[in-house]
Amino acid sequence: MRVNILSYFQQFHQTVWVLLIGTVLSRGAAFMTMPFLAIYLARQDLHPIFIGITIGMSPLMSTIGGFIGGHLSDRYGRKPIMMIALLGTALGYFGFAIAEHQWWFLLLNALLGLCNSFFEPTAQALMGDLTSKEMRMKVYSLRYVAINIGASVGPLIGAFLAMTNANMTFYITGSIYFLYMIILFIMIKKVKSTNGVNNKTTLSAAFQIVRKDRALLYFILGGMMIAVGYSQMESNLPQHFDNRLENGVMIYSILLSLNAIMVIFLQMPASHLMERYRPMKLMIAGSIFTIAGLLCFGFATTWLVAIFGMVLFTFGEILSFPTSSLLIDQLAADHLRGTYFGASQFRNLGSFAGPIFGGVLFSQIGGVLTFVVISVICLSSILFFSAGSKVNQITELTGKSV
């Protein structure tokens, strides 16, 4: 048993394990603060519209910065980009603790979004650099499990701290990111190469390469559509349940816990089965489960239907999230892995627009029809993923981009 555990850990590079453990701690710390940011800003007597704009700045900056950060990591190496991003994130959280003027809150959340967009694609690219091809589905699945462990623990600690000392939450989160930066700095020093140092591809040349990759473009468009659906989880779903179900807020909280528990316990067993199928096919299957879950949410009149909807929705996540990382990894040449992971951040446009569009629908046509419309939008993702799958198969057969 001891040998089996040791051999399992030895399948992945030490730095990969540091990234995975760091993901648990940093995401847990971020989830201590971000779900309660709107409440914190409201206590600063800021206008609701300004609060919405402030919160929306993070995904917007993630969309803009991802491609640039990924390209810079290809050109100058993973290490400097990751260190700068983690330092900027730590300073951003420290800034929230001492900020007093409303514009500082907006700028700091924009900084957090930008730093996150630099770090995430670079970290995923580094995992790909240090992991053999046949093990990458497992490592990306482990990363998603790590995110969910942090997401399940962080809000509980954050809720307690928010009632006692909200400022302390920002100091703790900033300190965790700063410590993560120091440990990662030490570990990456042991890695012979973190890629990119000899890559002289310019930003404009990288953009032209990515722009001509039709499989990637279809994947990004499909990802945008499905992101509109995922974004309803934190925006319109709690309001819809509160209006439609008895004890709707409590049911919503239970569903979030169910979601995290399912991912933590089912993601790795599922990854073994997922290795048999093409990534685009898995993305299509994930979209189908997600759409079915959204429709259940929309028409739910009992907690049983809501729970069934979350089970379907979570299966969609389990299929889609690690697969999206593997797909980007497979599409990218080694010297452009960071650029491709960065380009995939354009999917965040769906996360930015989803709550706004969904909010307008919710106020005009009600919750049921809102989730029907959102499901139809998500349905279009299947068309994009199907088109991307065909292009990818032709490219594999001919060796030429279509």
Can you spell out the DSSP letters for 79-137?
HHHHHHHHHHHHHHHHHHHH--SHHHHHHHHHHHHHHHHHHHHHHHHHHHHTS-GGGHH
The answer to whether 150 and 26 are in contact (CB under 8 A) is yes
**DSSP code of 44?**
T
Q: Which helix (H) or strand (E) holds 194?
A: none
Sequence-distant (6+) residues with CB within 8 A of 160 are none
Name which CATH class applies to 9-197. mainly alpha
Say whether 201-396 and 9-197 share the same fold: yes
- Tell me: the pLDDT tens digits for 242-260? 889 988 878 887 888 889 8
pTM to 2 decimal places: 0.81
Q: Does 47 score more than 80 pLDDT?
A: no
| DSSP string across 227-282 | HHHHGGGTTTHHHHHHHHSTTHHHHHHHHHHHHHHHHHHHHHHHHHHHTTS-HHHH
Average pLDDT on 277-296 reads 94
Q: Rounded to an integer, what is the distance from CA 304 to the centroid of its chain?
A: 28
At residue 211, the 3 state secondary structure works out as: helix
At the topology level, CATH places domain 201-396 in Growth Hormone; Chain: A; (1.20.1250)
Q: Is the pLDDT of residue 359 over 80?
A: yes
pLDDT for 372: 97
Using alpha carbons, select from 111, 82, 79 the residue that is nearest to residue 94: 111
Task: Output the pLDDT for position 378.
Answer: 96
In this predicted structure, what is the pLDDT of residue 277?
87
For residue 95, what pLDDT is reported? 94
Query: Is the pLDDT higher at 156 or at 293?
Result: 293
Report pLDDT for 195. 54
With CA atoms as reference, report the closest residue to 67 among 346, 353, 335. 346
Say if residue 113's pLDDT is above 60: yes
pLDDT of res. 203 = 72
Rounded to whole angstroms, what are the CA distances from 147 to 44, 46, 56, 85, 210? Answer: 30, 31, 21, 18, 28
Domain locations along the chain:
9-197, 201-396
Query: What's the rounded mean pLDDT across residues 180-209?
Result: 74
- Whole-angstrom Cα distance, residue 260 to residue 241? 19
pLDDT in tens, 201-216: 677 877 787 788 888 9
Nearest-angstrom CA–CA distance, 318 and 185: 31
* CA separation for the pair 139, 13 (Å, rounded): 10
Q: Could you tell me which of 184, 189, 181 has the C-alpha nearest to residue 90?
A: 181
**Residue 312: pLDDT band by 50, 70, 90 thresholds?**
very high
Tokens standing for 116? 């996150």
